[in-house]
Structure 1
């Protein structure tokens, strides 16, 4: 049966792997295996996030005190690097191995389960972005992206083979992207060397949060793809740096 893109996006919001309402974490996925818990400590994770938040707040003060546009630009670039480092070194590793579930809404890495939309919004929340985690997680993937960044940083792809898609994302340059698929939402992390990794709560394969090569991910095939390069958006980085709240526009599913 052929489905229009609009219908696909609606289905992604209503029937995809975004959790639609608060349900028990125990409903759909097995507990994380002991091997997946190695090297993670909830108190240590929270302590690290507090230290990173303190560094962000210090940098925010320096940004506000910067006397020239050039000085503010330097502070914003430092903020961009801190934001990416927070996700790469702390948030993503902590969540890896957490079971996926359709109704997963966990706040705690490797405890309970988490749906793909909730993984995206919770990761950004843990990194320090002030957002409505639940409301945004319930939206179709394109709505999530459009709330995070502007059209200037969004690229859409129709009917592109996975390998070609990965090459085209590589051409957009290093950084952090939010990726919307027909029935899924994820992060894409492009390294300085051009490697493209997909970080997501995967409903296929291991059925957990994984960081894997995008080109070989079983979750990448999709008729329609949209990517938002959030790390390149100065407005996004400034909002994160200054702790400004992210309003949700165009919501089709309410809290």
Structure 2
């Protein structure tokens, strides 16, 4: 009788344990099933608007400038952030994907000639209608480029010795959108925050071409520990100067 009782206790314990594990397994499957899938951006062509796929670069530029003039004429300044992001990220930048990097490169035509990191920034901004000297901007160091685009706003400085901590800090200080990033004294690019993820868009001197890559996988990003950030698509002062075609003075 005593052995029978021990067997019953053992059997009950095993049964409860199995059911508990089964329940945890089911709950885990349900949780994983309900988690939203985060789409990882792999190339700039994912941003191209359908209507632009058959247009030339000059036609795309003309469309952006025409829309910009219409917004100014109608004084529709409430949607500047979205219009700016669409113009830069979805119309102009994707056309430059694959353009060859060169330290001295300053082409103004995508995929023809070569483009340095600074000229990639200044040229794409010029082509969406900024009244700025693209040569002077490109020839500045990352700090002065940041100060120029920040206008009277404060440049966000992030410094740490660990890449993971830097990435976390940037996620905390930057809003969703596309922004400027300067790397110490050696490099510049755009940084995109989309659905909480960070992407680097730049003329990549390691890959030798313009492209996009997740920040946490970027060898270039991991090579630096001091960064200068400037909001672009959420910088109201900068956007107003852009839409009104007011000159942006390059700080030297």
In which range does the TM-score fall when normalised by the shorter chain?
A: 0.7 to 0.9
Query: Residue 59 in 1 paired to residue 60 in 2?
Result: no
TM-score between the two structures when normalised by the length of structure 2: 0.74
Bigger relative CO (Cα 8 Å, ≥ 6 apart): 1
Output one character per residue of 1:2-30: Cα deviation in whole Å (capped at 9) or x when no partner. Answer: xxxxxxxxxxxxxxxxxxxxxxxxxxxxx
CA RMSD of aligned residues (A): 2.0
Q: Spell out, residue by residue over 1:132-153, the C-alpha distance to the aligned partner (whole angstroms, 9 max, x if none).
A: 0001100001100100114634
Check whether the contact 2:82–2:233 (CA below 8 A) recurs between aligned residues: no
Alignment of 1:117-156 (within 5 A): 117-150=118-151, 152-156=153-157
Mapping of 1:1-255 within 5 angstroms?
44-63=56-75, 75-150=76-151, 152-171=153-172, 172-182=174-184, 183-191=186-194, 193-204=195-206, 206-220=207-221, 221-249=223-251, 251=252
Give the 4+ runs in structure 1 shifted more than 3 A: 39-43, 150-153
Distance 2:62 2:93 in 1: 16
What are structure 1's unaligned runs of at least 5 residues?
1-38, 64-74
Shift of 1:50: 0.6
The answer (yes or no) to whether the contact 1:116–1:186 under 8 Å persists in 2 is yes
- Pair 1:177–1:223, CA change in 2 (3 A): same
Structure 2 unaligned runs (5+)? 1-49
Give the distance between the partners of 2:63 and 2:140, measured in 1 at CA.
31
Report the structure number with the largest CA radius of gyration: 2
Shift of 1:77: 3.4
Count of residues in Structure 1 that have an aligned counterpart in Structure 2: 199
Give distance in 2, aligned partners of 1:177 and 1:89.
14
TM-score (norm 1): 0.73
